[in-house]
């Protein structure tokens, strides 16, 4: 009997199984290494602090979106679940570095300047809400945390990732003046991922 050729999804899954998860961690750190090198060599333009903040925040949002796409991709048979932890943890890392860049490099750890900036630019509060939502996710990203919480409670807790994605996209939209297309595309991507997750939310209740 003639066997049918493997589908594109089956070939992609076979390739993903051969990729070590450690390689994903290393690849996820490379943008940060490049940023440190570019900052040290003066390759970030006339306002390096703003460039650092923007790149860190953008990479954090990209990794967060990538981690949120893992489950919807399973609806079409693509199984990348092995990489979700790395993507999620690195999303938290870049968003935390984005916050620290603002506090340390931009505000100089001056409390009065931080409060004044929060008053002048309330979209920063949105970003802080996103970071706070991701802290419990990072703290419970281990197998031990899953066993301690139980799979159902762990999945419910990790829905905070969608809160972080929504407020992160809103933070980016309000941050960039003039309504350019890039932040709107990220907002649309977050909305699309949420729409794809709605049937899964209903299913998890059962």
154 Cβ contact list (under 8 Å, min separation 6):
140, 145, 146
Residue 206, pLDDT > 50, answer: no
Mean of pLDDT values over 120-127: 91
CB 176 within 8 A of CB 76: no
pLDDT at 1: 41
Q: Map tokens 């796409």 to a residue.
A: 69
Residue 204 has pLDDT above 80, yes or no: no
Residue 154, pLDDT > 60, answer yes
- Quickly state the pLDDT bin for 131 (edges 50, 70, 90): very high
Rounded to an integer, what distance in angstroms lies between the CA atom of residue 27 and that of residue 18?
16
Categorize the per-residue pLDDT at 205 as very low, low, confident or very high, splitting at 50, 70 and 90. Answer: very low
Q: Which residue has the higher pLDDT, 132 or 75?
A: 132
For range 113-118, the mean pLDDT: 92
What confidence score (pLDDT) does residue 136 get? 95
Q: What is the pTM of this model?
A: 0.90
Mean pLDDT of the chain: 88
What is the C-alpha separation between 157 and 145, in angstroms, rounded? 11
Residue 189: per-residue pLDDT: 92
Q: Where are the alpha helices (DSSP H) in 19-150?
A: 21-40, 48-74, 84-100, 111-120, 123-139, 143-149
Q: What is the pLDDT of residues 15-65, one digit of tens each?
A: 888 889 999 999 999 999 999 999 999 999 889 999 999 999 999 999 999
**Mean pLDDT, rounded, for 94-108:** 95
Averaged pLDDT, 181-201: 82
Dihedral pair phi/psi, residue 48, rounded to 5°? -65, -30
Contacts within 8 Å (CB) and 24+ apart, 175-184? 175/123
Mean pLDDT of 64-85: 89
The structural domains of the chain, with segments of one domain joined by +, span: 8-205
The percentage of the chain sitting over the pLDDT mark of 70, rounded to a whole number, equals 92
CA dihedral sign of residues 140, 145, 149, 151: positive
- Residue 3 clears pLDDT 50, i.e. is over it: no
């Amino acid at each position: 009997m003639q066997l049918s050729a493997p589908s594109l999804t089956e070939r992609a899954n076979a390739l993903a199984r051969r990729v070590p998860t450690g390689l994903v961690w290393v690849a996820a750190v490379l943008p940060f290494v490049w940023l440190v090198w570019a900052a040290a060599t003066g390759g970030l333009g006339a306002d390096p602090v703003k460039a650092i903040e923007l790149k860190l925040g953008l990479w954090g949002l990209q990794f967060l979106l990538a981690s949120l796409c893992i489950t919807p991709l399973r609806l079409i048979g693509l199984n990348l679940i092995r990489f979700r932890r790395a993507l999620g943890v690195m999303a938290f890392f870049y968003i935390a570095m984005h916050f620290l860049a603002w506090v340390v490099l931009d505000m100089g750890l001056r409390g009065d300047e931080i409060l004044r900036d929060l008053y002048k630019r309330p979209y920063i509060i949105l970003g802080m809400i996103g970071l706070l939502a991701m802290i419990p996710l990072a703290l419970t990203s281990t197998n031990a945390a899953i066993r301690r919480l139980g799979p159902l409670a762990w999945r419910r807790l990790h829905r905070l990732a969608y809160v972080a994605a929504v407020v992160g996209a809103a933070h980016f939209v309000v941050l960039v003046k003039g309504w350019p297309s890039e932040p709107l595309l990220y907002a649309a991507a977050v909305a699309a991922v949420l729409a794809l997750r709605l049937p899964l939310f209903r299913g998890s209740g059962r």
